């Protein structure tokens, strides 16, 4: 994953959520990294998770958005929450692992 992509991620988060994540690479191969948000704006809409819903990952929407955006540029990735402020962690951390480059598919016109 190139430095330019990190900058694009940071700019996109700033534009759409008003926060700039820091990026932490976690593998020598460069196919895994984490986005770390000191402040998660989606947390402002939740007061407290009910005890019976403690396993709910309220901000999982972000993982879906990131995965979908990567799929749009033909990059298959696994995107998961590693830390969540709603569950008492100090930061929100989203882990991204690139699985493989998706094959380009040619569409036939009917």
Is position 103 within any domain? no
Q: How high is the pLDDT of residue 79?
A: 92
Question: Which residues form the domain of 67?
Answer: 1-44+52-98
Note the pTM of the prediction, 2 decimals: 0.76
> What parts of the chain have a pLDDT lower than 70?
1-5, 26, 101-110
pLDDT computed for residue 102 by the predictor: 44
> For every residue of the chain, which 3-state class applies, written as one string?
CCHHHHHHHHHHHHHHHCCCCEEEECCCCCCEEEEEECCCHHHHHCCCCCHHHCCCCHHHHHHHHHHHHHHHCCEEEEEEEEECHHHCCCCEEEEEEEEEECCCCCCCCC
Say if 14 falls within a structural domain. yes
Whether 106 maps to a domain, the answer reads: no
Phi/psi of residue 40, each to 5°? -110, 110
Number of domains in the chain: 1
Q: Please report whether residue 72 resides in a domain.
A: yes
The tokens describing 37, both together, are 């948000």
Residue 57 in any domain: the answer is: yes
Is 3 part of a structural domain of the chain?
Answer: yes
- For position 37, which CATH number holds? 3.30.1380.20
């Amino acid at each position: 994953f190139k430095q330019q992509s990190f900058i694009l991620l940071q700019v996109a988060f700033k534009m759409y959520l008003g926060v700039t994540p820091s990026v932490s690479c976690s593998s020598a191969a460069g196919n895994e990294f984490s986005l770390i948000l000191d402040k998660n704006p989606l947390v402002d809409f939740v007061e407290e998770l009910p005890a019976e819903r403690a396993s709910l990952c309220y901000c999982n929407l972000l993982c879906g958005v990131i995965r979908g955006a990567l799929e749009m540029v033909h990059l298959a990735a696994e995107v998961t929450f590693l830390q969540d402020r709603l569950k008492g962690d100090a930061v929100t951390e989203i882990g991204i692992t690139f699985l493989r480059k998706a094959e380009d598919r040619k569409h036939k016109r009917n």
